[in-house]
Chain A
């Protein structure tokens, strides 16, 4: 347990670091909230008009003062107010997050349920035509960008079949599960495609390693049925690299799969951050990046804990 506590203790430090970097980075980009709102018309403002808009957007103070204001607000759970949405940043994030979380979970579910069996299948037929076939499909899947997959799916459905899931809105799963899945399944498949391909490849090579290990040979020589050797003995050990991969991918997906959200017009976290950056909605960018960083750290911690559960040789306490 002390391991978890040690890891958790590092969280605030990392988050402060992230917040400072984001704070500075977004302000170093030329253009501010005023030019983002008014565009070229910002040139028509008198100096007084510009000053009062700066006060309105909270960018009238020097950076350290702005940061300090924001940082102290953080402790009372106040991430500031988004100027484009006119709502507290935390509310906006929590409105958008369920979609992204669901999308990431679905994509991972699809990736694992295709990738793991496919990888095992290929590994047990090493260097035979079936193996080659799986590897080629995986290679294609991995090298096709998700926007291509997404656009092809949309094109085929709309031009070929005249159907399309409703786009632009999001129905939470607890309101209408069927409609929700109808909206989410295609984006999830689009995202899951490349993800499944990498899972297949990692599973295959890990499985090949494990299958040549001594304990597998022992199990076989004891006359254990082949099926049991593969699924019961070998697979759990082969899963360690798969878990690592999935952890990293999942972390990225929680940051918002910007392109897929853009193509399928899903109001998720990724598009929200993109829009916030374009609008120079500083508070929203800061809050969202912080939130994404926190997610990433939690996922990483869970991945490390999963190692120990999967492979008894890995002990976290001892290190």
Chain B
């Protein structure tokens, strides 16, 4: 397999397969990851090919999944755990925040915690409560964790393997509503660094910064704006901890305007961090305040309302217009 078109979900599956083949210490753990292949089939066929000892169906207990993964990591394994949905990570939040994030520092660097926590996140699939949330800021706020999210199949394939190879705990947010989007995956290409942002589209008038599921919305907004004669640059952050501010800064120094877009609530969200840092770095370049588009300070709404809650093309373009009006 070299370059081929794959759905993002299949790219993740191929990535896990590669990781299992490459390193006998890699383990897959989670609820329903074995015979079923995960509720989104990300682990489809892996238990059949690698056995129950490597692809482990766990009891339905998220703290137990992450807590035992920590113990396995201490024994020299590299567990990749699946949390079934974003809203189910909270029973494991204690283990992730008080244990996984801090143990390396508490041992003064003597031990490593190469654990990847995969979380399908975000809305747009008509799900019930606790199945559509975007809690990435809660993890990015915690020192000791790294937080990333791919937006496309190629990044899904490469970033997951890089996360597994990392000696640090990585929270890997998968944009679940992009699972079925196909993209080119070159399995022999040499990937860029895990925590570097990517300019997904060049433009001159304004920068849209986004990650995960919102990159596609921003690219569509940029295409729509092009028809109105506006040249929009789109930066895919790829990593929320650390954030590659240099790439955003370079873009904003060129375009002089920035709108940050994510599904998570705007209040205390990663957009706030980007806005604050870029304002500090680019104060004399900016022609407009950094604007943010995202979810509201409300629980994720019932599915029939989610299209109003989620930033769509119109809300992004509205923010573009507001920025350009300064």
Whether both chains belong to one complex is answered with: no
Q: Which residues of A contact B (CB under 8 A)?
A: none
Q: Which residues of B contact A (CB under 8 A)?
A: none
